Structure 1
Amino acid sequence: MSIIRMFYTEDDQPFRMCCFLSFNGIATVVGALLAFGLGHANNAAISSWKLIFLVIGLLNFCFSIIFLIFCPDLPAKAKFLTDQEKTILIQKISKNGKGIKDKKFKPYQAWEAAKDVTVYILALSGLCCGIINGGISNFLSSIIKSLGFTGIEATAYQLPTGAIEFVMVFCSGLAAIFVKNTRCILYFLLCLPGFVAIIVLHLVDLSNKSAVVGTFFFYTIGGPVILNWVSINSIGGDTKRTVASGSWFALYATGNIIGSVIMGISTAPRYTKGMIGFMTCYSAMILMNFAYALILIRRNKQRNKEQGGYNDEIAKQAVLDGFRGLTDFENRSYRYPL
């Protein structure tokens, strides 16, 4: 029960999601170590690069099965919790004002999502994140090799990227739980390391091997990705939230394809087209984050004006309306987290 209280407090979703991505940082480190070791396999029946893909792919496949079996999609389906713990968990989650998952599709909520400008902002942010992620994840080794390193050395130099991702994203999760309404600020701050690193790599002389330090910060793009998820989960109404989430993932996947295309082997070793594309995406993400924050501040001010402020009674009403399945537009007692 103490674990439930620890990990499911009223407003700790950013922390839990950042914890999730921080473990992805650990996986990046482990993956780089595996790739480095397998890259030295000279007597294997297949090429070392094929061996790397097969081993890491098999590990992912096995983990996906474990995840599918043991990770529930709803508190009520969590077999490792007692009935009392499930009740506590639902009470904790209910404080976010969005209720519990409702699988019934509601067309009017889908239409509301189509009219909500923040849904478009988040989806376009997903597109930008996808472009950066797709280009970097597929061409990081090539970028490092363009600085004069061998293939094996390029693999080894990817180790710090996962470590830095783990530390920065985990710390931002802590900041989100201890300092409320800092999500947009954290989003901006997490954009900066990768943005600056790309600018440096774009301008630096390729003979300067010390520039490899800039690549260590490329994977901090995971931070904005996670905070996008958190923002989507702040949308009230399960159908509306599902439409917003689907739109985000569709554009994120599209962005990953675009990111790989704009890099292109033909633009090596500077990858000018890709670097300019990444800088453009980061600039757009920062501007959209600023617009998103202003919109939410304006909405909260309007609701405070309607209801004469915000107090415990209004907060309780937000919880009740959340359980009724109301959207964030309908639930006037709901206040948007920033």
Structure 2
Amino acid sequence: MSQAENSQPKDQLEHVESIGVEQPQAPDVAANPVPKGDQAIQLIEIAGGSITLTPENNKRVLRKIDLRLLPILLSIYFLQQLDKSTLSYASVFGLVEKAHLHGSMYSWLGSVVYVAQLVFQPLVAYLLVRVPLGKFMAVSVLLWGIALSCMTAAETFAGLMVCRLFLGIFEAGIAPAFIAVTQIWYRRREQPVRLGSWYAMNGVVNMFGSLITYGLGHIKSSILEPYQIIFLFFGLITVGISGAVLVFMPDSPITAKFLDDEDKLVAIERLRMNQQGIESHEWKWEHVKEACLDLKSWLWFSLMVSISIPSGGITTFGPLIVESFGFSSLNTILLNVPFGVVQLIATMGGAWLATALGKKAPVLALLCIPPIAGCIMLLKIPHDDAHKGPLLVGYYIISVYPGITPLIYSWSAGNTAGETKKKVTTGILLVGQCVGNIIGPTLYTTEEKPLYRRGLTADLALFCVLVALIGLNAAYLFFLNKKHEKQRVAMGKEAKIVDYSMHAVGAIIEDKEGLPVQQVVQDNAFKDLTDMKNEDFVYVY
């Protein structure tokens, strides 16, 4: 958690629900120029100073933000996961046979999306700094919808590969953009649940996507195969949604039209104690260097590789694994619904628990245990009619794993500062995810049906590796907090500071005389400093 609990005795901590803490006046920009810096500090200067953040105005503005952003984010991510899942749905409706897929062809149709995303992550990181965020997302949705629609006409492995390649290119920026949205709109305390909410669309897709696909699979057409109807239906819906994203998705709190001038200042003050900045369109190569040399970046990378290999394999081969238990094609689709329910509960439950504890490492380790048990069950239980039930239980237990990825997202997002560094670190994180998702499906082949022993054994080992990596990362973040404490002491500051970004608004600390301690330390929040360069930054483990 933050260092708040260590900064004062517990009996001095009290929650005040109606007292806002006065923020410092806007800095003298002439005396402390911030050329091409964070635009938040420029807005504060224009307004003549910052605004008092109270529980009341914080709740009001947070509600406005949630009502505008979450429906858009949830819709986009639902469609992205649904569009990627169309391949696995199509596999049980004749795609493998009609397109004459054999050997590793089907596996590579799953992996090529992530090859494209891996290659394009550097460009995505640059564009997310330089291009308005809302417009970037709208164009991405439009282009991937077109790519999916074109899969309707693809009848060979080569045609499908080309369409899947472009699908990966145009989807490459969605997850990084969503992480950026979470960083520039939400306090660190709020980030796990918001990240978890859009990532939980994986579970919703497995629930409702399966039901929709079940219905589409019953359509009789003399022109289109059932799997072609699936591609066309979801592709055209995605194209339509892109228009709504263009109209309603704001670029940042600073330019958002749905917030008035006062609300914009409140939105900025909400994020002050994140010490991460909000928006700067300046690309800084020193941030790139620090991100690449930061051990944290490669720990995030390793965590994402370790979870994405199982995720990629199970996402692509999940319906085929269930079908191998002895179920029909249509029943296989229906039996994917409980898989989605477990995903949804695990994702939102993990996010809620991480918020309640203020720590992510123990929750992540806890989420690794059920998939370990599920893999063992599928490897040990005989695959025959008498054991269909236990095999399904093992498969459903494995489906807890989607709760891990969004917590890694939020762990990284909450521990990185500096506009360019945030985007580059997210890029490294997503490269790790792409590498894992490329490798994952290749560990499974249709020839290994029904046991899929190689893939499940690899997944079991990687869930165990994840637990070790989580512990290592938590230890390193603890070390970095101690290092910043020494830096603050050397600069004449208090060693312990309160991380209010992890507190409910209204929570204050009283000093020995019973007076409220100022929430804001030295105003480094909007100077576009990296977490390593900002001695006031508190790492959350």
Distance 2:251 2:466 in 1: 30
Contact 1:143 1:269 survives alignment (8 Å): yes
Q: TM-score, normalised by structure 1?
A: 0.91
Distance 1:188 1:58 in 2: 40
Alpha-carbon offset, residue 64 of structure 1: 4.2
Distance 1:44 1:188 in 2: 51
Aligned to 1:89: 267
When residues 314 and 117 of structure 1 are mapped into structure 2, their CA distance, relative to the original with a 3 A threshold, is farther
Contact 2:348 2:403 survives alignment (8 Å): no
When residues 59 and 250 of structure 1 are mapped into structure 2, their CA distance, relative to the original with a 3 A threshold, is same
Partner of 1:322, secondary structure, is coil
Aligned to 1:244: 425
Aligned to 2:61: 4
Aligned to 2:377: 200
With 307-316 and 130-139 compared, the bigger mean Cα shift is at 307-316
Distance 1:276 1:254 in 2: 19
Contact 1:161 1:219 survives alignment (8 Å): yes
Alpha-carbon offset, residue 128 of structure 1: 2.2
| Structure 2 counterpart of 1:135, from 313, 336, 341 | 313
Distance 1:281 1:73 in 2: 38
Alpha-carbon offset, residue 197 of structure 1: 1.4
- Does residue 1:296 correspond to 2:473, yes or no? no
Q: TM-score, normalised by structure 2?
A: 0.58
Aligned to 2:231: 53
With 268-277 and 40-49 compared, the bigger mean Cα shift is at 40-49
When residues 323 and 23 of structure 1 are mapped into structure 2, their CA distance, relative to the original with a 3 A threshold, is same
Larger Rg belongs to: 2
Aligned to 1:186: 363
| Structure 1 counterpart of 2:460, from 263, 267, 279 | 279
When residues 65 and 275 of structure 1 are mapped into structure 2, their CA distance, relative to the original with a 3 A threshold, is farther
**Equivalent residue letter for 2:249:** C
Partner of 1:216, secondary structure, is helix
CA shift digits 1:117-144 (9 cap, x unpaired) = 1100101222223222211111111000
With 72-81 and 27-36 compared, the bigger mean Cα shift is at 72-81
Distance 1:274 1:280 in 2: 10
Residues 258-277 of structure 1: matches in 2 within 5 Å?
258-277=439-458
Aligned to 2:112: none
CA shift digits 1:274-320 (9 cap, x unpaired) = 112212221222211110000011111233344353235796236x2
Aligned to 1:152: 330
Alpha-carbon offset, residue 228 of structure 1: 1.8
Aligned to 1:311: 497
Aligned to 1:112: 290
Contact 1:127 1:251 survives alignment (8 Å): yes
**Equivalent residue letter for 1:198:** C
- Does residue 1:209 correspond to 2:380, yes or no? no
Name the structure with the higher helix share.
1
**Equivalent residue letter for 1:317:** V
Distance 2:239 2:399 in 1: 23
- Does residue 1:224 correspond to 2:404, yes or no? yes
**Equivalent residue letter for 1:298:** F
With 219-228 and 132-141 compared, the bigger mean Cα shift is at 219-228
Aligned to 1:336: 539
Contact 1:10 1:92 survives alignment (8 Å): no
When residues 9 and 170 of structure 1 are mapped into structure 2, their CA distance, relative to the original with a 3 A threshold, is same
Contact 2:277 2:525 survives alignment (8 Å): yes
CA shift digits 1:227-269 (9 cap, x unpaired) = 1211221201121221111112122122212111111112221
CA RMSD of aligned residues (A): 2.2
**Size of the alignment, in residue pairs?**
336
Distance 1:176 1:67 in 2: 30
**Equivalent residue letter for 1:70:** F
Contact 1:98 1:325 survives alignment (8 Å): yes
Aligned to 1:18: 196
- Does residue 1:37 correspond to 2:215, yes or no? yes
Alpha-carbon offset, residue 206 of structure 1: 0.9
Contiguous gaps of at least 5 residues in structure 2: 1-56, 67-185, 499-516
Contact 2:351 2:407 survives alignment (8 Å): no
Contiguous gaps of at least 5 residues in structure 1: none
When residues 123 and 80 of structure 1 are mapped into structure 2, their CA distance, relative to the original with a 3 A threshold, is same
Contact 1:145 1:154 survives alignment (8 Å): yes
Distance 2:455 2:242 in 1: 32
Distance 2:382 2:285 in 1: 55
Partner of 2:525, secondary structure, is helix
Contact 1:165 1:217 survives alignment (8 Å): no
**Equivalent residue letter for 2:521:** Q
When residues 237 and 103 of structure 1 are mapped into structure 2, their CA distance, relative to the original with a 3 A threshold, is same
When residues 48 and 202 of structure 1 are mapped into structure 2, their CA distance, relative to the original with a 3 A threshold, is same
CA shift digits 1:177-215 (9 cap, x unpaired) = 3321x2111211222222321221122111110111222
When residues 3 and 152 of structure 1 are mapped into structure 2, their CA distance, relative to the original with a 3 A threshold, is farther
Distance 2:232 2:277 in 1: 42
Runs of 4+ in 1 over 6 A off after TM superposition: none
Distance 2:246 2:463 in 1: 34
**Equivalent residue letter for 1:330:** K
**Equivalent residue letter for 2:436:** G
**Equivalent residue letter for 2:361:** C
Partner of 1:330, secondary structure, is coil
Aligned to 1:126: 304
With 99-108 and 115-124 compared, the bigger mean Cα shift is at 99-108
Contact 2:346 2:402 survives alignment (8 Å): no
